[in-house]
Chains A and B, each alone.
Chain A
Amino acid sequence: MHIVVCVKQVPDTKIIKINPKTNTLDRRSAPAILNPYDAHAVQEAVRIKNLTGGTVSVLSMGPPQAVAVIKKSIEIGADRGFLISDRAFAGADTLATSYALSKALEKISMDLEVDMVICGKHAIDGDTGQVGPGIARRLDIPPITNVIEVTRINLPEGNLIVKRKQISGYELIQSELPCLLTVEKDINDIEYAPMPNMIKAARYEPVVWSVSDLGEVDRKQLGLKGSPTIVGKMFTPPKLEGGKMIEGALEEQLNELMDILMERKDLFSFNNSK
């Protein structure tokens, strides 16, 4: 079983500041980290590998510093990593990104056929969640998003069953392999990596590919040129005003809340009749 996990280096948005004048993310204000959802994606791939045997590869597109997230993935237990890094990729939106990554995946697959691709649900710096499905579409494999559990893998028959989160509940899905999953954080807990992985990661140097290493590529579909998305505006959501903080013991809080709700005419029909 060969699983490829797509990972992204993102600024830690828990810390990042938005420049109030230009309304853009001030990327220097926050340390770069492995996108948290992607960390769970790697962990899940490693968990599956430990059950079925095989190889976990990670793939990232980014500047040379993005090697750090590949090393982080090796710590979690990935076997090898690929970074595609080139000026030509710069400024890519989700369309151009999924194109570039799918090209790299094709190349990886030529060497060792890929049975499954896993991505995080979305990257915390863009929140679009489009790259995973975009890759699946281009590779013509089924995308299954918001996965919270890989329930069963049936290698001989070449299929798997996963549980996905829906707004109103859960869904169990059976899909053929290869397929692409995007995962939620609930799918697993990141394990404290064993020491040999840490040493391996410290030593690891990933394969770095430029555009010309990817074989036949339509350069018009890469980077800024291949990106029709225009960011109209970025802003911090306005602080909600008003409201009332209910304090006290739980019982008191509940009573007060009920009193408030009961007084709201529009909430309960029996109040309307008055």
Chain B
Amino acid sequence: MPEKFDVIIVGAGPAGTSCAFVCAKNGLNVLLIERGEYPGSKNVMGGVLYRKQMEELIPEFWKEAPLERPVIEQRFWMMDKESVVQFGYKGLEWGQEPYNNFTVLRAQFDQWFAQKAVEAGALLVNETVVTECLVEDGKVVGVRTDRPDGDVFADVVVLADGVNSLLGKQLGFHKEFRPDEVALTVMEVINLSKDKINERFNLSENQGCTIEIFGDSTKGNLGTAFLYTNKDSLNIGVGTTLSSMIKAKLKPYELLDYLKTHPMVKPFLEGGESAEYLAHLIPEGGYRSVPKVAGNGVVVVGDAAQLVNAIHREGSNMAMASGKMAAETIILAKHEGDFSESSLNRYREELYGSFIMKDLEKYKDATHVFEKYPQYLRDYVPMVNRAASKFFTVDGTPKKDKQKEIMRSVTGEKGTIRVLKDIYRAWKAVK
């Protein structure tokens, strides 16, 4: 007789593990299935973990979790071929409890987090692929794995299987991605000594820095790049929407090579040793791409539900929050003994009432606008660089004349009306 659990959770990323943790803490009988050798072994993230949603699960987690560095400085670069305009914020208050966010290496972090769920009572089975959901009379009743005697049953199955949710597709919740709904990102971990990192990024012990890079980092295509500091390594990565990549005939690894040898970036990496090379998709369709998230006996959380805020590179926190909300719904459903779609739809309501869907709604047009009008990264970033260069070059021209000249060159290139239209469109998309 195959076993029956209260909940089976597919995927031990931040979404699945949060859900497992909360369910197990509340006494539910939980099976967490992960296809990797261990949780995190295959997972990819630029590396910024936000404090808030993690803290709601495990208070003061920073005292024991394997974190790299608390981020005390965030820089934003608008990068051209041989120049960069930057702004940012550095604050020592971010270096003290309760901190703001941290850089992490997912292979270590996910493993630790999953161990917490196990300590709370969840059963974790690694190296096992869930191949399909078992459906009976229109209700998901369990999962089939790739192992002999592989069927396992549960009242609720949680799909936390990440961005390309094959199980979501099997149930018809998901369609195949459109190329503009997903970004392909490649990243590399580069080993570099702690001292060199501190020197190059102007950091002290246990301080971290993140740099988001727009413009020439993607050769003007829709996407971003990042450079984050770990303890004794750097994470550098770049990605664009699949559609931009196809349109511009870009190869992701070529783009990463281009970034690594860019004169503004190269000095940070010099002498570093490449330790790992990873590629992963990011769901960037936003609000409109969020699929059905609850059905009879099944809920969808995290990347599998496309819960990523591409503009603010938030994903892991949304994954955790959605996992927790799903767990709370499942606990209620268990009390009532009702696992139907209408009962589990409470999770959907929670989700739509939370910061997650509010944020996604706020930016629901952003990626689409930037995709449709490529001039923002392609034209305006170089323009801003030229303007800054002109403004800060001391050549005896009065500053007032300089400003006029800059304005003229901006509107001269594109026409005043077009520039105003572009500004209005961008403002509307992110307001």
CB distance from A34 to the nearest CB of B (A): 13
Return chain A residues, CB-CB under 8 Å to B3: 196, 199
Contact A195 B150 (CB under 8 A): yes
Contact A202 B125 (CB under 8 A): yes
Return chain A residues, CB-CB under 8 Å to B145: 195
Return chain A residues, CB-CB under 8 Å to B125: 195, 198-199, 202
Per a CB cutoff under 8 Å, which of A192, A202, A203 touches B148?
A192
A265 to B407, CA, bound (A): 85
- Tell me, yes or no, whether A262 is within 8 Å of chain B by CB: no
A262 to B124, CA, bound (A): 61
Contact A194 B31 (CB under 8 A): no
Contact B31 A195 (CB under 8 A): no
CB distance from B145 to the nearest CB of A (A): 5
Residue interface bits A193-207, CB-to-B below 8 A is 1, else 0: 111101100110000
Residue interface bits B1-30, CB-to-A below 8 A is 1, else 0: 011000000000000000000000000000
Which residue in chain A gives the minimum CB-CB distance to B3?
A: A199
Return chain B residues, CB-CB under 8 Å to A193: 147-148
Per a CB cutoff under 8 Å, which of A192, A194, A202 touches B123?
A202
A199 to B31, CA, bound (A): 8
Contact B123 A195 (CB under 8 A): no
Residue interface bits A132-151, CB-to-B below 8 A is 1, else 0: 00000000000000000000
A196 to B2, CA, bound (A): 8
A196 to B152, CA, bound (A): 9
Return chain A residues, CB-CB under 8 Å to B148: 192-195
A196 to B149, CA, bound (A): 7
- Tell me, yes or no, whether B243 is within 8 Å of chain A by CB: no
- Tell me, yes or no, whether B128 is within 8 Å of chain A by CB: yes
CB distance from B27 to the nearest CB of A (A): 16
A211 to B135, CA, bound (A): 52
Residue interface bits B103-130, CB-to-A below 8 A is 1, else 0: 0000000000000000000011100100
A104 to B151, CA, bound (A): 37
A194 to B123, CA, bound (A): 16
A199 to B149, CA, bound (A): 11
Which residue in chain A gives the minimum CB-CB distance to B144?
A: A195
CB distance from B122 to the nearest CB of A (A): 9
A192 to B151, CA, bound (A): 15
Which residue in chain A gives the minimum CB-CB distance to B127?
A: A198
Which residue in chain B gives the minimum CB-CB distance to A33?
A: B37
Contact B147 A194 (CB under 8 A): yes
For chain A, residues 173 to 212, give those with C-beta under 8 angstroms from any C-beta of chain B: 192-196, 198-199, 202-203
CB distance from A133 to the nearest CB of B (A): 33
Return chain A residues, CB-CB under 8 Å to B124: 202
Query: Count of chain A residues with Cβ under 8 Å from any Cβ of B?
Result: 9
A32 to B328, CA, bound (A): 36
Contact B150 A194 (CB under 8 A): yes
For chain B, residues 75 to 116, give those with C-beta under 8 angstroms from any C-beta of chain A: none
Return chain B residues, CB-CB under 8 Å to A198: 125, 128, 147
Return chain A residues, CB-CB under 8 Å to B147: 192-195, 198
Return chain B residues, CB-CB under 8 Å to A194: 147-150
A192 to B145, CA, bound (A): 12
CB distance from A72 to the nearest CB of B (A): 10
A193 to B125, CA, bound (A): 12
Residue interface bits A151-188, CB-to-B below 8 A is 1, else 0: 00000000000000000000000000000000000000
Return chain A residues, CB-CB under 8 Å to B31: 199, 202
Return chain B residues, CB-CB under 8 Å to A203: 123
Residue interface bits A94-118, CB-to-B below 8 A is 1, else 0: 0000000000000000000000000
Which residue in chain B gives the minimum CB-CB distance to A191?
A: B148
CB distance from A182 to the nearest CB of B (A): 27
A194 to B145, CA, bound (A): 10
For chain B, residues 158 to 206, give those with C-beta under 8 angstroms from any C-beta of chain A: none
Which residue in chain A gives the minimum CB-CB distance to B5?
A: A199
Contact B123 A199 (CB under 8 A): yes
A177 to B152, CA, bound (A): 40
Return chain B residues, CB-CB under 8 Å to A192: 147-148
A104 to B31, CA, bound (A): 33
A155 to B125, CA, bound (A): 36
A66 to B420, CA, bound (A): 66
A198 to B8, CA, bound (A): 14
Which residue in chain A gives the minimum CB-CB distance to B32?
A: A202
CB distance from A6 to the nearest CB of B (A): 24
CB distance from B412 to the nearest CB of A (A): 59
A194 to B3, CA, bound (A): 13
A199 to B124, CA, bound (A): 8
A195 to B126, CA, bound (A): 11
A194 to B150, CA, bound (A): 7
Which residue in chain B gives the minimum CB-CB distance to A198?
A: B125
Contact A199 B152 (CB under 8 A): yes
CB distance from A27 to the nearest CB of B (A): 16
CB distance from B4 to the nearest CB of A (A): 11
Which residue in chain A gives the minimum CB-CB distance to B33?
A: A198
Which residue in chain A gives the minimum CB-CB distance to B125?
A: A198
Which residue in chain A gives the minimum CB-CB distance to B150?
A: A195
Residue among B124, B145, B148, B152 with most chain A CB within 10 A: B148
CB distance from B128 to the nearest CB of A (A): 6
Return chain A residues, CB-CB under 8 Å to B152: 195, 199
A203 to B124, CA, bound (A): 9
A199 to B2, CA, bound (A): 11
Which residue in chain B gives the minimum CB-CB distance to A203?
A: B123
Return chain B residues, CB-CB under 8 Å to A195: 2, 125, 128, 145, 147-152
A149 to B145, CA, bound (A): 32
A203 to B128, CA, bound (A): 16
A-B contact pairs, 22 of them (CB 8 A): A192-B147, A192-B148, A193-B147, A193-B148, A194-B148, A194-B150, A195-B2, A195-B125, A195-B147, A195-B149, A195-B152, A196-B2, A196-B3, A196-B149, A198-B125, A198-B147, A199-B3, A199-B123, A199-B125, A202-B31, A202-B123, A202-B125
Beyond the given pairs A198-B125, A199-B123, 7 more chain A to chain B contacts, judged by CB atoms under 8 angstroms and listed by A's residue number, are: A192-B148, A195-B145, A195-B147, A195-B149, A195-B151, A202-B31, A202-B123
The 10 closest A-B pairs by CB, nearest first: A194-B148, A202-B123, A195-B147, A194-B149, A198-B125, A195-B150, A195-B149, A202-B125, A195-B145, A196-B149
Which residues of B pack against A, CB within 8 Å? 2-3, 31, 123-125, 128, 145, 147-152
